[in-house]
């Protein structure tokens, strides 16, 4: 697929709140529509969503540049000229993506706790706990690898309000009358709903204000739609122009976005080529690594035989099962190893 001819409708708004402002001719850009299935007012419909686009905003200093220094949890550009703290405001989070070299495609949330300086951006503690940046092969210096900084979506930026996007809000603190968004944050599942009394997103349970909860580009959300209408979100942004590298837990569950503005299949996803992936000729609940996807409102499991993907249960060959644009999947590793490994995916379209 050739994406070179796209035109960007530049906007400072996020997915779901975007409005056309001006036309600019730049890197391949465009939009995709992400949809959550309709409930019936009583029973929820579950959809797994991701935001496959990123977008840029004007910042002080170099939004793209060369990496001159790296520590376990920070990336530096000695000539960046960033405004101190500008990249670390909770309401307006940013991500930094490595755009060349061995680590190309890795994307990290910039910390909103440790403020950036004029030359250094620290990555979020949750991601720093998983990976040491000095182990990724990043080359530094005058001929070092390159980076790009993008705006990161937030809960309120993506899903907005009942008036702006059509989400269903409510007043019950357990979210019983509202649509519910579920996300993996700091290794645990958290649920959020839009409270119509406070006109804000709240976390179910503690009731904490959650408008600024970031939605990382490599992550995704489970959307439980109570309202009896399909929820359509238009996501405007820059088409990814590099390969992708995403961190996968060596044991347990990882929840990853589809990442691309075009669909893949299980066969073309490269999930089965993740280092340490355990394929088994027949499915084993104790040893097979699996992928789970929400299909028609039900969670379906797939395992790899070493030759083909098959569905757990009927054992039907499933290589052509789609991972649609704006969807996501769960990787479940059966082992007990600590740490993470990297899922590498090649850019699935031509840019020229």
Output the pLDDT for position 154.
Answer: 94
Burial class (CB in 10 A: 0-12, 13-18, 19+), 212: middle
pLDDT at 25 exceeding the cut of 70: no
Output the pLDDT for position 22.
Answer: 31
pLDDT at 4 exceeding the cut of 80: no
What residues form DSSP beta bridges with 23?
9
Q: List pLDDT tens digits, range 274-286.
A: 999 999 999 999 9
Mean pLDDT of the chain: 89
Residue 9 — pLDDT band, cuts 50, 70, 90?
A: very low
Tokens matching residue 352: 């020229």
Phi, psi of 127 (to 5 degrees): -80, -35
* Cα dihedral 322→328→334→336 (10° resolution): 150
Contact 201, 219 (CB under 8 A): no
CA-CA distance, 156 to 300, in Å (whole number)?
30
Residue 23's SS3 state is strand
CA-CA distance, 207 to 190, in Å (whole number)?
11
Average pLDDT over residues 48-73: 90
Tokens 């906007």 correspond to what residue? 11
Reference 233, options 17, 9, 2; nearest CA is 17
| Residue 100 DSSP code | S
Q: List pLDDT tens digits, range 87-125.
A: 999 999 999 999 999 999 999 999 999 999 999 999 999
Reference 79, options 142, 139, 136; nearest CA is 142
Contacts of 2 (CB under 8 A, 6+ apart): 349, 350, 351, 352
Tokens matching residue 52: 């496959």
pLDDT at 174 exceeding the cut of 80: yes
Output the pLDDT for position 152.
Answer: 92
CA-CA distance, 199 to 202, in Å (whole number)?
9
pLDDT at 7 exceeding the cut of 50: no
Straight-line distance from the first to the last Cα atom of the chain, in angstroms, rounded to the nearest whole number? 10
Average pLDDT over residues 125-144: 95
Lowest-confidence pick of 7-21, 251-265, 320-334? 7-21
CA distances from 72 to 131, 244, 270, 343 (A): 8, 20, 28, 20
Average pLDDT over residues 164-183: 96
Residue 295 — pLDDT band, cuts 50, 70, 90?
A: confident
196-201 contacts at long range (C-beta below 8 A, 24 or more positions apart): 196/162, 196/169, 196/170, 196/171, 197/171, 199/161, 200/156, 201/155, 201/156, 201/159
Q: What is the largest distance, in Å, between two alpha-carbon atoms of the chain?
A: 60
- Look up the pTM and report it: 0.88
Structure-model confidence comparison of residues 166 and 11, the more confident one: 166
């Amino acid at each position: 697929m050739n994406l070179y001819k796209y035109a960007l409708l530049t906007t400072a708004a996020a997915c779901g709140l975007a409005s056309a402002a001006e036309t600019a001719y730049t890197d391949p850009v465009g939009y995709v529509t992400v949809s959550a299935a309709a409930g019936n007012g009583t029973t929820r419909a579950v959809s797994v969503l991701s935001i496959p686009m990123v977008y840029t905003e004007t910042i002080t200093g170099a939004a793209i540049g060369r990496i001159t220094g790296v520590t376990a949890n920070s990336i530096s550009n000695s000539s960046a000229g960033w405004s101190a703290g500008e990249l670390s405001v909770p309401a307006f989070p940013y991500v930094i993506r490595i755009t060349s070299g061995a680590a190309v495609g890795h994307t990290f949330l910039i910390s909103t706790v440790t403020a950036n300086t004029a030359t250094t951006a620290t990555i979020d503690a949750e991601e720093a706990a998983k990976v040491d940046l000095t182990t990724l092969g990043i080359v530094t210096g005058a001929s070092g690898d390159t980076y790009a900084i993008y705006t990161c979506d937030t809960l309120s930026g993506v899903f907005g309000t009942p008036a702006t996007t059509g989400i269903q809000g409510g007043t019950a603190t357990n979210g019983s009358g509202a649509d519910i968004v579920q996300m993996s944050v700091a290794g645990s599942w958290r649920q959020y709903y839009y409270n119509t009394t406070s006109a804000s997103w709240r976390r179910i349970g503690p009731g904490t204000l959650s408008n600024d909860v970031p939605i990382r580009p490599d992550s995704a959300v489970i959307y439980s739609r109570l309202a009896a209408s399909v929820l359509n979100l238009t996501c405007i942004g820059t088409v990814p122009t590099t390969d992708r590298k995403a961190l996968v837990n060596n044991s347990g569950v990882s929840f990853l976005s589809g990442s691309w503005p075009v669909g893949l299949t299980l066969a073309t996803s490269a999930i089965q080529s993740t280092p340490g992936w355990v394929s088994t000729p027949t499915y084993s609940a104790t040893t097979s690594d699996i992928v789970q996807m929400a299909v028609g409102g039900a969670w379906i499991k797939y395992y790899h035989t070493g030759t083909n993907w098959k569905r757990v249960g009927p054992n039907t060959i499933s290589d052509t099962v789609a991972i649609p644009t704006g969807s996501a999947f769960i990787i479940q590793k059966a082992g007990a190893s600590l740490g993470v490994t990297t899922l590498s995916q090649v850019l699935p379209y031509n840019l020229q």
